[in-house]
Structure 1
Amino acid sequence: MSDMIEQAVAKLNEKLDASGFDGTAKFVVEDEGEILMDADGARAEDGDADVTMTADVETFKSILSGELNPTAAFMSGRLKVDGDMGAAMRLGAVLS
């Protein structure tokens, strides 16, 4: 697992801790790896999810840091979403 994915998992777990996120979501960070998130938290692994979001490293880092709103990233084509858009919106609220 890359250092970037490891740090992202820790940051996502902080954000997810008390959020009550009730779906499954996966971030695919191009050239780095996958992060699976569900009610148990975030972890570096691949698997089935209600929604899969794909972004390059810079876009993902900007979303995670709060510099880039996930909805704005999607609307500008920097974030690709495949699957349950409702789950993506709920996760976006957690990340904002």
Structure 2
Amino acid sequence: MTLQEIADQISSKASGSGFSRSVKFDLGGEGTILVDGESVSTDGGDAECTISLTKDDMESIISGDLGATSAFMQGKLKVDGDMSVAMQLSQIL
């Protein structure tokens, strides 16, 4: 899955979700995905919360093969910034 395909999947879930915060997914050398409310882009930028993980783990979370909470507990993703924003991501992931 390309970075844009991942962003498109998140965008389809964010549309109409009521998510109103900003979060950046830092996929290392693969790039970043910025979710700002219901808007999703691969341009990067500032966000209330940054979640760092690998592209493979992001794909697994989106497909439902890996739960975000499990990934956090296993150290597969790190959260910087406002943790309450990360907790609201269940609306779009």
Same fold per TM (> 0.5)?
Answer: yes
- Give the TM bin, normalised by the shorter chain: over 0.9
Identify which of structures 1 and 2 has the higher relative contact order when contacts are C-alpha pairs closer than 8 Å and 6+ apart. Answer: 2
- Aligned pairs, how many? 93
Aligned 8 A contact 2:19 2:38 in 1: no
2:36 corresponds to: 38
Aligned 8 A contact 2:17 2:91 in 1: no
Unaligned runs of 5+ in 1: none
The RMSD of aligned alpha carbons is 1.3
1:22 corresponds to: 20
Percentage of identical aligned residues: 39
TM-score, L = length of structure 1: 0.90
Given the alignment of the two structures, is residue 76 of structure 1 paired with residue 45 of structure 2, yes or no? Answer: no
State the distance in 2 between where 1:56 and 1:80 align: 10
**Displaced runs of 4 or more, over 3 A:** none
Residue 31 of structure 1: SS of its match in structure 2? Answer: helix
TM-score, L = length of structure 2: 0.92
- Choose the corresponding residue for 2:49, options 41, 48, 51: 51
1:88 corresponds to: 86
